Structure 1
């Protein structure tokens, strides 16, 4: 009994690629179908992913990882323990913790204005890391530093600067403007831009923590603590803040709830994930139908080749493997080309919109793997149909 010759994987690949090598134009058009499908997959996953990244970045600026801690209203005096900021900083997920404290003094433009008119502004003692905790930026001048925080210098919030009559600070070398707090003169060294997350800061005059102690008789107890932490842990941090700030009386501490933008951000993440999966599935289905149609036509046109191979001893399994390999190869070639085109189009569109360029690596790898799987599945029926042809049927139909 003559045993059929077994094809090695390399031989099988060579036979499977024979149709692609000999019919290059047809193979190119066949791969184009799956390429369009995979390019669509890359595009419809990449563009929403870039849009999602831009949206999430915008939502993150709305304080999705920020909390505020303050004394319970009605507490007399409404203040927190002096060591509370350092205690909050020791919480693992906390990245920044800073504080301000009300000095209960009035600020005036000069000593000729009514001593009882503070223009509706609040004089706050501020720690040096406050801008990082509230995402504040300096519009003019500079923020306090370890040197200036010890001297009678102030930084104005955006509204405070307008009410006191300061649009901008003079250029370097010019005379620095001054304001009077209580009965002492303070030099204005900076003006903050608007802080949407902390509107109270906009209406405040900020004095260095140490200068407030020495110049305004500040006792060192913060009024409000600003906290930023890792976003996934924000609920956990919020739960432990009262006992951390005031272990003896946690009920006297109020912690703001997370920004509504956090819920919107998480809902956006879930919605986009479902959308991406749906679009990718549709695109792959379209590409698979194109490969299946191509392989059915290939079997019909290559009946003579099939009959000749069967007459020379090729068994049905080898015929099936040949067409499955060709189908998978076409899908893989189309998948690679489509992925490159889709990623390039996605990058161009994202750059044009000013979005961050996001390459959804899992979706890209799934798209490539899915292309091969779809190609194999699409080639199952054509390969079975080719294997069922007997040599006489295949040769007689030519």
Structure 2
């Protein structure tokens, strides 16, 4: 049985006034290109087909410089509870909210790219201490991936998803959680898959918005909708994944721009929030500018544009084709996510799918896009996982 350890230290986020002033100066003096040549196109996806439209970027940059309040985000992080510990020589930052409920289950939630712990700050409280006394409660742990946020930047290669998953088991043990459930999407979904597949003695079950099937499966017998999912996923990797190829092969090169230019960093991340959210035109139809800027500013102040990109170098296409997850699994595939796999494919890897959901709305960032549904779905999914484990 694991027990809490003194190796875990309390942490407070606090950017210097000088760093915030420097950010505003850089935003005010940014050099911008001319407008895209589809400038003036009607609202909709075509307006974004060359990337972030100039007018939209100017609007967000102005708001970031003149109205956005970073201190408010710092206070939210501190209210949840922030900590750091060192695992395998690397400092790991994490949020930790213990539930007041005696029947609460430990839960680790892992973000992806271009996300961060900012994805989950608005849902941690309701997961830990739900207003509905009949809803399941969780001791919530939200770590920052290596090279992200307030976690240390690896100085050597090796910090891929397998090593991260092992570190998460160690982290949970240090907090006194020998057994726990896990949730993730994007890279967090890969880490969660590895947790379930490699560490069944510790992981009671998983909930994921990412369920990558093993390669080489046939489309024979798939429904029309399922075939469309496979075609959309293939199209994404063939035509819309240049960012992933860049970060997987040359993270250092793009990193110079992401660490030096706040406008460049904003555009690189905003482009993904726009394309991957379930909206008709702008991501701000469902996600506020403040929530997106919480995420972008965290990348900026921690200078993690290059170090976060390296997770692609470490782990792109690295999920073991033979890895199988035998612990109970709940899978939710949001309609506008970038990768979706048919259940018949997913169950070749996830051998005990106890709950499968395909909601009508939502994209790659469901905790920000549809937070109420996300919390309800996560609760119900993990309740099904725990019931199957007993």
* Fold match by TM threshold 0.5: no
Greater fraction of residues in helix:
1
What TM bracket, shorter-length normalisation? under 0.3
Larger Rg computed on CA atoms: 1
- TM-score by length of structure 1 reads 0.19
Higher RCO structure (Cα 8 Å, ≥6 apart): 1
